[in-house]
Amino acid sequence: MGRALVLALALMTRGASAQNSSNGWSPMNFHKPSDAELRRTLASRQYEVTQHDATEPPFHNEYWDNHRPGIYVDVVSGEPLFSSLDKFDSRTGWPSFTKPLEASNVRERVDPSLFAVRTEIRSAHADSHLGHVFDDGPPPTGLRYCMNSAALRFIPVDRLEAEGYGRYRSLFQAAVAKHPTP
């Protein structure tokens, strides 16, 4: 009983994830957890956003103002979605990106809700609601992938290897080589 309580408290304080944080991403090994498992492992906001298309409040979410280098993965599956190298301040209060890190891990869907037709973004493998994409972003794409922090898990560059995402480390090494700090 004591171990279960400790595990439950750890999941609540960490902002639980349905994906094991040490295995990285493997589409061959991913099977979406049941609804009951998702309810048990995700924090309530994560569950509502990813499974019921909710939107978290602007400026009151975990990553809207995160400036650390790293990648963002689906909180349910761990599939790589976005990179801090493509993140920008959209002044909307949500994390915004110019493009996906792995285009094959996101899919678009027409969303006719809220009195306008928008383009919803969902993760390809877990089918998590992530946010929406708009055509008012900066160059080079002109796109703004406006995502919910609750649908994402951030992996800092110094944890990429340990968490199974080491293949993305070179992106950050190339960025440092291209733009060295004085």
The catalytic residues are 146
3-state secondary structure of 60: coil
Evaluate whether 169 touches 161 at the Cβ level (below 8 Å): yes
Write phi, then psi, for 144 (nearest 5 degrees): -130, 100
Residue whose entry in the numeric block shows the structure tokens 């801090």: 84
Only one residue has tokens 């991403």, namely 25
Token digits of residue 177: 């080589």
Q: What is the CA radius of gyration of the chain?
A: 16
Q: Which residue from 115, 107, 113, 148 is spatially nearest to 131, judged by alpha carbons?
A: 148
